[in-house]
Amino acid sequence: MSAVETEVQGRLGIVTLNRPEALNALNYAVWDGIQSALDAFRDDPAVGVVVFTGAGEKAFAAGADIAQLTNYTVVDGLNARLQKLFDAVEAYDKPTIAAVNGFALGGGNELALACDIRIATESAKFGLPEPNLGVLPGAGGTQRLSRLIGKGRAIELILTGRFVGAEEALRVGLVTEVVPQGEQLAAAQRIADAILTKGPLAVRLAKLVVSNGFETDQRTGLLLERLAQALLYGTADKVEGTQAFIDKRPAQFRGA
Ligand code: CO8
């Protein structure tokens, strides 16, 4: 059993964080496993959407591995490997879904925040309790949480270390859907199926423009939008997508 298990189901690439005895805490083996999964699924044409989830009933991931954290130095902080890994998740070429089953704390929550879409089971609990340990959410949490749910809510959660249940997570926009325990992969599959009927280049560029446009001013974002749209107007998929609508038939996209 490795610390990260991967499996392809249909067009879904499933990445399972697999240290249930430690609530799937993210140690070096998990970091490496996530990186390998990203590399493998990027190059696998069968995989259209990547979903992250946790092994067992209790946790998605309860954070960075605290035993490992005890040895971190200032240089480890500057190297910020986990922050960079989650940057790669956010910038990934294919859409990503976090199917959060149970605790998503610290680095586990930060992994979910780096995904495009977050869904949760009814028992999910989100938190960024790093200040309990004398550190801060340093794998993107200070930035991505406030961008997602607003600065006021994010600061309150980080400073208090309070855990947020699934219903509150839905209400504040931390997740887009809550499903019963055990149904998270089916829900991810349903979302992936919807994405995969779309023009693949349109999906890829829409993700790129929304993500990068969000990091800049509106004028620059609109420029990105215009340029991406101009690219899409030149694609065979645009010809096929529009013609299929007129012909009242499903589009057969080729990603070209
Ligand atoms: N790291 C290592 N082991 C863990 C972690 C963790 N984050 N979380 C849980 N475990 C282990 C426990 O030590 C325990 O192991 P054992 O059975 O050998 O004693 C096992 O998992 C089960 O945990 P508990 O017995 O504690 O289960 P409970 O149901 O009583 O409690 C909690 C569940 C509330 C989730 C509790 O385990 C907890 O508070 N965990 C820690 C949560 C936390 O503080 N997370 C943040 C970690 S720091 C972080 O993520 C920093 C990221 C940014 C910096 C990036 C640097 C790389």
| ipTM (interface predicted TM) | 0.98
Q: Could you give the CA distance from residue 61 to residue 158 in angstroms, rounded to a whole number?
A: 17
Q: Considering the chain, what percentage of its residues have pLDDT values greater than 90? A: 100
Using one digit for the tens of pLDDT, what is the confidence trace for 76-114? 999 999 999 999 999 999 999 999 999 999 999 999 999
Active-site residue (options: 21, 90, 122, 130): 130
Using one digit for the tens of pLDDT, what is the confidence trace for 216-245? 999 999 999 999 999 999 999 999 999 999
What's the pLDDT score for residue 154?
98
- The arithmetic mean of pLDDT across residues 171-193, rounded, is 98
**Is 195 a residue whose pLDDT tops 90?**
yes
Q: Which atom of ligand 1 is nearest the CA belonging to 163?
A: 34
**What does the chain look like in DSSP terms, one character per residue?**
--SEEEEEETTEEEEEE--GGGTT-B-HHHHHHHHHHHHHHHT-TT--EEEEEESSSSEEE-SB-HHHHTT--HHHHHH-HHHHHHHHHHT-SS-EEEEE-SEEETHHHHHHHHSSEEEEETT-EEE--GGGGT---TTTHHHHHHHHH-HHHHHHHHHH---EEHHHHHHHTS-SEEE-TT-HHHHHHHHHHHHHTS-HHHHHHHHHHHHHHHTS-HHHHHHHHHHHHHHHHTSHHHHHHHHHHHHTS-------
Location of each CATH 3.90.226.10 domain in the chain: 4-196
Relative orientation angle of helices 107-114 and 81-90, to the nearest 10 degrees: 30
Using one digit for the tens of pLDDT, what is the confidence trace for 44-86? 999 999 999 999 999 999 999 999 999 999 999 999 999 999 9
User: How many alpha carbons fall within 13 Å on the CB side of residue 11?
Assistant: 16
Residue nearest to atom 54 of ligand 1 (CA): 138
Location of each CATH 1.10.12.10 domain in the chain: 200-247
What's the pLDDT score for residue 1?
81
The CATH H-level (homologous superfamily) assignment of domain 200-247 is Lyase 2-enoyl-coa Hydratase, Chain  A, domain 2 (1.10.12.10)
Q: Could you give the CA distance from residue 129 to residue 254 in angstroms, rounded to a whole number?
A: 45
* 57 assigned to active site: no
Active-site residue (options: 110, 122, 167, 225): 110
Q: Which CATH class is domain 4-196?
A: alpha beta
* 110 assigned to active site: yes
- The arithmetic mean of pLDDT across residues 157-179, rounded, is 98
- When the pLDDT of each residue in the chain is averaged and rounded to a whole number, the result is 98
